[in-house]
Structure 1
Amino acid sequence: MTVIPDEVLEEFKERMKITSNSEDKNLQRMLVSSFNRITELCGDFDLERESSGKDLVFERTRFMYNDALEYFEDSFLSLIQSFAFEQLPEVEPDEKI
């Protein structure tokens, strides 16, 4: 099961200007869902080290929070593709895929 560190939750709340703790469990679920979806689309990554991946997780969560999730992938398609390309393993020229 994916666990979102408290620091990441707090960073998201700061970005969204959410000051209350009353929504923390719901926000955690949304962040986990978003992380899992971005991982499905782009490959596995470290949420705390990959700023592009974290930004995509935050943006997807923002869309979900605002009941507009159906627009996320179309709106961020180029960034999703770029991040997915960055996650591909490097292959030596003489290696077979």
Structure 2
Amino acid sequence: MQEEFTALVSMREGQGRLYVVLLNTTDAWPEYCFGSTVPTLTERTEALSLLGFEPVPGAVWEWTEDSEIYGDPASPVVLIAAIRVHAVQEQVGR
């Protein structure tokens, strides 16, 4: 069974960022930056592929929102999405 990781997309201050959380490592987390709009499903999938990952079978993106300033209902919203992913395995003969 392949090791699974969590990929996150955050939209903050007009900038989108996708990164894969690699726990128990000192390596930098793989990261991809988007423009100012919320990335589509296709854009997120392509970004994961560029980073060498793909969603695990049956996984779906789960969206939530947070605020930049905790406890302030007038604070700008921060959108966060998460999905379970695994590294793409190289196929023999390719």
Q: Normalised by the shorter chain, which TM-score bucket?
A: under 0.3
> Is the strand fraction higher in 1 or 2?
2
Question: Quick one: higher RCO (CA 8 Å, sep 6+), 1 or 2?
Answer: 2
Structure ranking higher in helix proportion: 1
Q: TM-score, normalised by structure 2?
A: 0.26
> Could you tell me the TM-score, scaled by structure 1's length?
0.25
